[in-house]
Amino acid sequence: MLKLREDWMENVIKQKILNKQAVVGVIGLGYVGLPLAMLISNKGFKTYGFDIDENKIKLLKKKKSYITHIPEEKIKEAKNLIPTNDFSLLKKCDVVIICVPTPTTDTNEPDLSPVINTAETIAKYLHKGQLVVLESTTYPTTTRNVVKPILEKTGLKCGVDFYLAFSPEREDPGRKDFNTETIPKVVGGVDKVSGEIATLFYSQVVKKVVPVSSSEVAEATKMLENTFRAVNIALVNELKMLFDRMGIDIWEVIEASKTKPFGFMPFYPGPGWGGHCIPVDPFYLSYIAKKYDFTTHFIELAGQVNIRMPEFVVEKVVDELNKRKKSIYGAKILVLGLSYKKDIGDPRESPSFKIIELLEKKGAKVDYNDPYIPETPKMRKFRFYKKSVSLDKNVIKKYDCVIIATEHSCYDYKMIVDNAKLIVDTRNAVFNNLKKNFKNVVKA
């Protein structure tokens, strides 16, 4: 009798998904949650978008965008999306997807409080037949050992009364060749039935679903992807510092290495790592590794190298100013780009903040320009407030040094080169855009 009841509930949620009658709730309407909620709603599912930020909800209700690479026209197209901060509406949802941040503490340990708080909120409204999916990037075992016990405190049993899975987000904001719908979706359930139901749901939404055997495999997939990038970025950053001492251009080396048709994948150096994933995920993996009495030497070394890059940039600025008989103390410096990558307005973990902090500690007077970020947002680790300055030839001429920290496409690099006394280019942006080296441009 119990098995019949379980099969009946499983079939009900499956039919609701297939008939597009399932109501979906996406918790967290940031860079991951908002495009996902829009996509789900465009596929014919009634979709609630939940967020604790009242300003986001107000803007979405007015069909306004707060994310630069998501145009308002796209938000207007999401007619089945209902933005709300009324979490009691979770009781109406058949599918609940968690897309909240998973930051680190000041000591680089995982901060799972957003996930835990969200799971506790869901538990208040959890009902039989409901599917819950965690998408927030985290270390393996989180879904099973952290989320599942919270939900089961309700007395409902996972795999019997409700279903639980993990599916890592793979967003790359601003990317043109792939989007939420076309990036393959890895899905792993805490149990077999949960995995099947989650796979069925995502197959109605994205082009390709990649089922894996467990939630732990799905969690580890995301860890591997981003740790792979973190380690390789650290490698080229370390080589950049070595080759700089040797008078060798790392970017030219990479271009030459790219000509090998096999066995090489290009990664590019920069002023440090940024974004939510790469600066955070390796530390999540190192944390859980210690619980298994294992030290992740490669990961920790990569973290040390990447964290040091803003210091390398500042050292280069100091050296170049000294060559021009100018002290860093009192020097006027302009940082171009506050976002962590080009052509988006995402400042999360951007190395520009650390560069500004280090320069100001040395007595420099620092301004910034970023057309995507008009003023510095509230950050967990940095406590300064600035507004983006305007950019023209007269402004550029005022500064002793211009640091290119982000290679925004909208910058007029010819104008910048023609009017800057000194440019410290951390992205090879001048050469990339003008195909020429200049005497007042120093690569860092």
Share of the chain above pLDDT 90, in %: 82
Beginning with the edge strand found earlier in the chain, give each strand of the sheet holding 365-369 in spatial order. 365-369, 332-336, 401-404, 423-425, 441-443
- Mind listing the pLDDT tens digit for each residue in 303-325? 889 989 999 999 999 999 999 99
DSSP state of 173: T
Mean per-residue pLDDT for 54-77? 93
Active-site hit among 93, 99, 158, 277: 277
Whether 401 and 422 have beta carbons less than 8 Å apart is answered as yes
Angle among Cα 222, 24, 9 to the nearest 5 degrees reads 95
Nearest to 244 by CA among 416, 425, 417: 425
pLDDT single digits (tens) 322-336: 999 999 999 999 999
| 277 pLDDT higher than 90 | no
3-state secondary structure at position 237: helix
The answer to whether 287 and 139 are in contact (CB under 8 A) is: yes
- Cross-sheet strand order for the sheet of 95-98: 81-84, 47-50, 24-27, 95-98, 131-134, 163-166, 185-189, 209-212
β-strands 131-134, 47-50 pairing: unpaired
pTM for the model stands at 0.90
How far apart are alpha carbons 342 and 94 in whole angstroms?
A: 38
Nearest to 106 by CA among 385, 379, 305, 311: 379
Residue 276's Cβ-side half-sphere holds a number of Cα atoms within 13 Å equal to 20
> Residue 56: which of 77, 79, 26 has the closest Cα?
26
Could you give all domains of the chain from N- to C-terminal order, each with its CATH number? 2-213 (3.40.50.720), 226-443 (3.40.50.720)
Mean pLDDT is lowest, of 176-180, 328-332, 350-354, 370-374, for 176-180
Q: Which amino acid type is present at position 261?
A: P
- Tell me: pLDDT of 1 over 80: no
Residues 387-402, mean pLDDT to the nearest whole number: 97
Distance CA 30, CA 137 (A): 14
Task: Quote the pLDDT of residue 141.
Answer: 97
- Give me the percent of the chain exceeding a pLDDT of 70: 98
Please tell me the distance from the alpha carbon of residue 422 to that of residue 398, in angstroms, as a whole number.
11
Q: Is the pLDDT of residue 3 over 70?
A: no
**How confident is residue 423, by pLDDT bands cut at 50, 70 and 90?**
very high
E-state strands within 265-324: none
pLDDT in tens, 229-264: 999 999 999 999 999 999 999 999 999 999 999 999
Determine whether 401 is an active site residue. Answer: no
- At residue 378, the pLDDT reads 80
Query: Tokens 């000591």 correspond to what residue?
Result: 107
Compute CA 377 distance to the chain's CA centroid, rounded to the nearest angstrom.
16
Q: Kindly report the average pLDDT of the chain as a whole number.
A: 94
Residues 41/79, Cβ–Cβ less than 8 Å? yes
Q: Please compute the mean of the pLDDT values over residues 189-212 and round it to a whole number.
A: 98
The enclosing H or E element of 390 equals: none
List the end-to-end C-alpha distance of the chain, in Å, as a whole number.
Answer: 69
Tokens of 72: 């308002």
What is the residue whose two structure tokens read 């962590």? 340
- DSSP letter at 110? B
Instruction: Report pLDDT for 106.
Output: 77
pLDDT grade, residue 140 (50/70/90)?
very high
Instruction: Answer whether 91's CB lies under 8 Å from 123's CB.
Output: no
Which is it for the CA torsion 170, 174, 175, 179, positive or negative?
positive
The DSSP code for 376 is: P
